[in-house]
Structure 1
Amino acid sequence: MNTSVDPSSVKPGIREVRVLSRGLTILSAFEPNNDWLSNSEIAALTGLPKPTVSRLTANLLEAEYLQYSARRAAYRLGTAVLALGFIAASNRDFVMLARPLMQQFADQHQVSVVLASPDASSMVCNEVAHSRDMLFTLRVRAGSRLRMDRSALGRALIGAMSDAERAAFMDKLSAADPQAWELLDREVPAAVSQMASDGYCIAAGTLEAGTNGAAVVVDTPEGPHTYALGCAAPSNSLELPRLKQAVIPDLLALKARLEAELSNMQAE
């Protein structure tokens, strides 16, 4: 029996949604540290066929969502995306609330502090604060994507999920990114146990080689574990005993303060 779908039988609205979804997938492939991408690179990152990528990048270029460099034979995000990004960032009350508190925490403990939210198999950095006194800062900034299996942020978020949420997430991850699923699957039991017992997750040498870090989840009025909040620094300046005894208690206090401020904002 032939089960193929006749493209002409697909409703126009469904086709438009599919095109929009693929266009957004292409735009999300760009990162601050990977801002120029060719069609081949976009296809590899998104899993979309190269002819589809070529058609969509041409349309996105015309609409100024992408810019093209003939010298590089590559694209980067255009002014239309940047405008949307700045509007979204400026309107994020939570990020605006967290920013000065994160910087204060970073300077106090000489660490990098990251606020991130989940997106598919990655954590997207909404805000990053680096200590002004650090000789070495992590190569992460607002807009960066961190793999779930390579950060305390991702592990904390997964560890805080309900059993049903976690199972559904891991099923999706196993289909989308088998390698990440295999690595993360080994870490999940420890993350679940630590989040349940301590309320935070520690990861040593995962975000970058030679670093130590910890993360908590932040609940918002919109729902539980909406964000993950973490800190990290080179292990020679942030040894595990200091991380546990001095830094993590303040990280938990920062989480509590942010959640209280959000509740107050919601009540006003």
Structure 2
Amino acid sequence: MAGNTSTPGSTVLSRGLALLFAFDDTHRRLTLSELARRAGLPLPTAHRLVGELVAGGALVRRPGGQYVIARRLWQVGLLAPAETGLRELAAPFMNDLHAATRATVHLAVREQSHVLYLERLSGRASVPVASAVGARLPLHATGVGKVLLAHAPDDVVTDTLGRLSRATAHTVTQPARIREQLERVRRDGYATTVEEMTLGACSVAVPITTGGRVVAALGMVVPSLERDRTRLVVALQVAAQGVRRSLDGLGPGP
């Protein structure tokens, strides 16, 4: 359940937010009953509020009766400072990476215990991936996620290792092995995965820093890392350094 706001004293706003927060990367289409259950609201209350959210342009009702987040709300979300600033600064470097490699290129940040994808560049020749702009995926099963987890606070690491899930047969779910991987990420400056999130897809990622702290991760997804690992790591590190210089030029961050 996404949250329970049916307790006495909860406001209309909090109930409306609970309905919006009922959506996530694994619940992109929800029926009215599912929305009510995940938001912890009585069905009549959910019906009334969902109708207002549809009328206000925050939700869209599909012909089959399911509800999805409206484009207008998605556009508002992209105005958040972290998303807007990083995406704009990283765009030219991501374009260069994609043009040189034709690989899927990711820009991501950590949102609590998940990876939040701010940008993705891909083409027809790219490897199929599970990510999408705005999607949230597990930290432990993705290249950008391993980078961000390696530099996350101890409580985030502990929480993540306490509920490891398996996306494919190759996903690493042993806490001790994950800790070893995170140590290598901090030592070597990059992370890799082999079919941990999607079969047939390998990833490599590096941190983006500013002011001495890791604020994002830049990664690529390719069919194999056997021959091009070093070349891809170097290309990513050069791009990440370019983004860092752009961020440093802005002065103190939020």
TM bucket normalised to smaller: 0.7 to 0.9
Equivalent runs, 1:1-268 vs 2, <5 Å: 15=11, 18-19=14-15, 21-26=17-22, 28-29=23-24, 35-42=28-35, 47-49=38-40, 51=42, 54-55=46-47, 56-69=49-62, 71-85=63-77, 87-88=79-80, 92-130=84-122, 132=123, 134=125, 136-161=127-152, 165-171=153-159, 174=162, 178-180=163-165, 183=173, 185-221=175-211, 224-235=213-224, 239-243=225-229, 245-266=230-251
Deviations 1:23-48 (A, max 9, x none): 4412x4267xx74322355568xx54
- Specify the code of the residue in structure 1 equivalent to 2:50: T
- Specify the code of the residue in structure 2 equivalent to 1:209: L
Deviations 1:48-85 (A, max 9, x none): 4363793553442243211113x311011225414413
TM (normalized to structure 2)? 0.77
User: For 1:219 and 1:190, how far apart are their aligned partners in 2?
Assistant: 22
Shift, 1:95, TM fit: 0.6
Stretches of structure 1 lacking an aligned partner (at least 5 in a row): 1-6
Kept in 2: contact 1:173–1:180 (CA 8 A): no
- Specify the code of the residue in structure 1 equivalent to 2:69: L
User: For 2:14 and 2:21, how far apart are their aligned partners in 1?
Assistant: 10
Kept in 1: contact 2:128–2:201 (CA 8 A): no
Change (3 A) 1:135 1:68: closer
Kept in 2: contact 1:67–1:76 (CA 8 A): yes
Change (3 A) 1:38 1:24: closer
Kept in 2: contact 1:103–1:129 (CA 8 A): yes
Shift, 1:210, TM fit: 1.7
Shift, 1:158, TM fit: 0.8
Kept in 1: contact 2:203–2:221 (CA 8 A): yes
The alignment covers a number of residue pairs equal to 240
User: For 1:172 and 1:250, how far apart are their aligned partners in 2?
Assistant: 29
Matched position secondary structure for 1:76: strand
Change (3 A) 1:264 1:179: closer
Matched position secondary structure for 2:213: strand
* Aligned-residue RMSD, C-alpha: 3.4
Stretches of structure 2 lacking an aligned partner (at least 5 in a row): 1-6, 167-171
Shift, 1:17, TM fit: 7.0
Percent sequence identity over matched residues? Answer: 18
Deviations 1:156-203 (A, max 9, x none): 111122xxx1234533774xxx35399373543123211221011111
Q: Which has the higher helix share?
A: 1
Kept in 1: contact 2:203–2:219 (CA 8 A): yes
User: For 1:40 and 1:89, how far apart are their aligned partners in 2?
Assistant: 34
Kept in 2: contact 1:212–1:240 (CA 8 A): no
Kept in 1: contact 2:105–2:121 (CA 8 A): yes
